[in-house]
Structure 1
Amino acid sequence: MATSVAACSLALAACGSKGEAGASNGAGSGTLTIGASLSLTGKLAREGQLTQEGYQLCQDKVNAQGGVDIGGKKVKLAIQYQDDTSKPDTAAQLVDQFNDKGVKLILSSYGSANTEAQAAVIERNGQVMVDSAGADNKIFSKGYKRTFAVLSPATEYASSIVKAIADLAQPKPKTVVFLSADDGFSKTVTEGGMATAKDKGFTVMQPQYFPNGASDVSSSLTKVKGEKPDVIIGSVHLVEGVAIVKQAKELGVTPAGFGETVAPPTPDFAKTLGTQAEGVLGSSQWTDSTKGEDKYFGTAKQYAADIQKKFGHAPDYHDAEASAACLALVMAADKAGSTSPDKVRDALAGLDTTSFFGKIKFDSTGQNVYKPMAVIQVQNGKAVTVWPTDSAEAKLIWPGTKP
């Protein structure tokens, strides 16, 4: 295996400098190598592991159909993984290491901080990266031309929850407060959510911030308890999201409903909280009722069944967005007929397709602003789609929390 990887790396190094000659060498090696630095340990390990699952299923599906068509020759897809330990500096260094080995096509790490660090290196090295999990709009405000995100931007994460509540909740709540981790992604989420809440006529209270990765958010909850907000929305990841719900119960903070980013669609959320998770809303990049299909994964329902079969758990959107990123890179290489990073980059810029993940199309900054997010609610221990209504699996239960 080491020999084939080395040979493939040399082939990709050639394609980075010799265009079509590189595509021929890549096809001749019989393997298309893609590099992926992932958060397999550290504070984002669970999300990183789900991301790896999504990448791995993509490799399996593509290779089951003979591989990637590069200039009329089928080559097998091989994803190389490295653990960045959830640290942005390490994630960036690993992209450089891939480049040193001639690996020019990259799948992103998990999270906005890691992806932002990688994007600068990608641009410098002339590599190309498809981003599966770095949603912060700020990544795409720096003029980068070689990073493309399949997922909806960060500003939509909390905004979608606000829109769902405004559309569906009866009686309509009046006051909203945001509890947010202090990382860049979560702050962008909060800014977008607050703007939407004000636009929808809610009274928006002063947001409360706590350290990224915090498992104790009781101080923030205590500060808002006396204000008795109708809705608490967490701009969080899994650890903080679990903490908000659990500690709110302990402190007697009882809004009509909770909404959170990232955490509720993750299977570990309901598993950890049990009945306390009931009624919590969450925003999701993907659900198994998402419309669209493609030749590798089929429909969203088929994708869900494949994740369940291979990994023994229901899929969440971290799996799906990772598979979609891999799919976009494969489709771009196929469209380009080459593994040249410049030609793959150009093919990505022009990609406009439907898939099991929904629409994949990039604006001039590299963001996929064309795919809406969904809102789920935990009902009977399962995350079900409640908004938008044209893809809803169940009706919103409101109030979402029991007195």
Structure 2
Amino acid sequence: MNSSIKATAAELRAQDAAFKGSEKSINNMRSTYDTLSRQSKNYQAQLQKQRERYDENSKAVERLNKSETASQEEINRATKLQANAASQYNRTAAAAAQNENRMAALRKEIALQSDGWTKVSNGASKFASVTEKTSSKLTSFGSTMTRAVTAPIAIGFVAAAKSAIDFNSQIQAMGPLLTNGGAITAKYRAQLDQLASASKKWSVEYGISTAAINDGMSEMIKRGYIAAQTLGAMPAVLNAAKASGDDFNDVMHVSTSVLEQFGLKTESTTGMLKNTSRVTDALTYIANATAAGFQDMGEAMTYVGPSAHAAGISLEETAAAIGIMSNKGIEGSVAGTALRGALTRLLKPSKQNIEGFSELGISVADFKKGTLTLPEILDKIKNNTKGWTDQQRVLQ
């Protein structure tokens, strides 16, 4: 189901790219609407399965709580699985709602394009002959045309003016964020102009509204990013949202958080572009190659990112580990907590931990020195537990 959802999302991105810059047509919109409809069915099927999983986990928790022999560890594990199942269901429900909203907007646009007067206004070159043919149907040409054509145009100008005001308000609101409430000097006005120009350019390039882009830039500045850092980070985030099919806000929040967790935030625009691209490339690859989405990885990274960075484990290795765990049904906070626990046992091992690692051929000292990597540890565990049963591995 995950593969089907990702494939349909990729199809939608391809359609958006194909139709971008071309005149809207009923056929184009209907084609996109059909794809959205298939995606809606995918989401509904996914929701049904996730609901079943949540119900199963809830029953398991209930059974364990009533059991007199169940350990607290078993109850905690089952409760975490229940919480993880609920989180997955909620994320899919949010994506399904977003898909439905887009379908509703498209239905409205198709209805408008199908309307006779809309067709008339699109065929401006044939306006004279069309009005001549339809004039017999009008009780009063002057008053009806004023109501049917002039009024919508006036409304359009008002909407355009409001949109411009909203855009400028969003940009100006970034001023106090950049200055920490100080005076907005010529230096900061120039930065605001740069941000405004970039927002308009990116909106056309990536098909994301300027309102969403401006919100994203504001969020970055609130996190302590200067204008140069924001301008450097945004293109990579926008590219990742387009490539992965994940929500722009999810991609932005996760990417900026991971940048800081792994100490990749720099002062320069070029440095931010390079490091943000590194983050988004790694996360996009994992999002497309495994069951983990951006939101899953962001949630997991919240728990394990700082520990992984402190242990000298790269962003790419950490993301890969989260992706592999997600394929086994261990996602989000559960994956992050589990991975952090393993790293903590390696960084601050008890005597028992050291003995256990030694039996598996793992040197804690080598790991601390950075000469033993996480993939090498996993290889040692795999090779040194050949022939073991699952029960033996769990006990070890």
Is TM > 0.5 for Structure 1 vs Structure 2?
Answer: no
TM bucket normalised to smaller? under 0.3
Which structure has the higher relative contact order (CA within 8 Å, separation 6+)? Answer: 1
Give the TM-score taking structure 1 as reference length: 0.26
Tell which structure's C-alpha radius of gyration is larger.
Answer: 2
The structure richer in helix per residue is: 2
Structure number having the greater strand percentage: 1
